[in-house]
Amino acid sequence: MQVEEQDQGPEEIELQFLLEAIFQRYGYDFREYSRASLRRRVKQHLLIARYDNISAVTHDILHNGEAFSALLSNLTINVTEMFRDPDFYLAFREKVVPVLKTHPFLKIWHAGCATGEEIYSMAILLQEEGLYERCQIYATDIDKEVLDKARRGIFPVSELKRYTENYKRSGGKRSLGDYCTEKYDNVIMDPGLKKNVIFADHDLATDQVFGEMQVVLCRNVIIYFNRELQKRVFRLFHDSLDIGGFLCLGSKESLRFSGCSDAFDIIEEQQRIYRKKM
């Protein structure tokens, strides 16, 4: 893990003031996110929204909720797709599903669900494995506008070909078209896929344990946190999981340096699937 340099120049101080203003005014805590990643996203926002400097952004968001919403959409990472990293879903089917089938009821938390493509992917997988009817899925994200998109379950039809290829490679048992309807330029997911999904806002930096889960998925989110926040989030996931529960991370994430790696067994190292020790 890289140690970020402590540049205390004017721009860094402006960034600190911005993050503190966001926390004090709106309650979102980005103060322990990776500084390098935040700098890139804030600079991108300056260009898009045509601000001269970070201080101007700080002033604007303190007095204008719409300005903050625009900034938030640039600060949060919402890169996702259906059956993203198909090998992960294939490994989940083979290594995790057989254990889940031994449970009479399942609670699954998908933290950082973004616009929801991976929520619907998991719902499809669970349905095909005969598990969906006994599941309660909690889909959370820090960005309420993004959560609204996830609730709607409407995606660009231009992505359908790629999603279909991912689905096939993930071990899909039917046709992806069986789970959605094409209308104009959109793909509308079957409403039945979200009947057991609760969408809720949750900030991994400040909020607490999310119940006793059999599975926690948080893929390609933790890489944007600094070391201390990563440790906090890993403890949160550990405490949220039932004994024997599964933790699923992104391909560039690991329990190494987490402070709780000894509390998990490695189930599938390449696909970052771990199991809380019995």
Listed by start position, the domains of the chain span 10-75, 86-276
Residue 51 has φ and ψ, to the nearest 5°, of -95, 150
Q: Which helix (H) or strand (E) holds 37?
A: helix 35-49
Q: What pLDDT, in 10s, does the model give residues 136-182? A: 999 999 988 899 999 999 999 999 999 999 999 999 999 999 999 99
Predicted TM-score (pTM) above 0.85: yes
Q: What is the DSSP string of 47-110?
A: HHHT-SSHHHHHHHHHH-HHHHHHHHHHHS-----TTSSHHHHHHIIIIIHHHHTT-SSEEEEE
Q: What pLDDT, in 10s, does the model give residues 204-247? A: 988 888 889 999 999 989 988 988 999 999 999 999 999 999 99
* Share above pLDDT 70 across residues of the chain, in percent, rounded to a whole number: 97
- In the chain, what is the straight-line distance between the N-terminal and C-terminal CA atoms, in Å? 29
Q: What pLDDT, in 10s, does the model give residues 90-122? A: 999 999 999 999 999 999 999 999 999 999 999
Architecture in CATH of 86-276: 3-Layer(aba) Sandwich (3.40)
Instruction: Report the DSSP pairing between strands 213-218 and 241-249.
Output: parallel
CB atoms < 10 A from the CB of 57, how many? 25
Amino acid identity of 164? T
Q: Looking at residue 6, what is its pLDDT? A: 52
Distance, in Å, from the CA atom of 226 to the CA atom of 60, rounded to the nearest integer, reads 27
pLDDT band at residue 3 using 50, 70 and 90 as cut-offs: very low
Q: Looking at residue 52, what is its pLDDT? A: 92
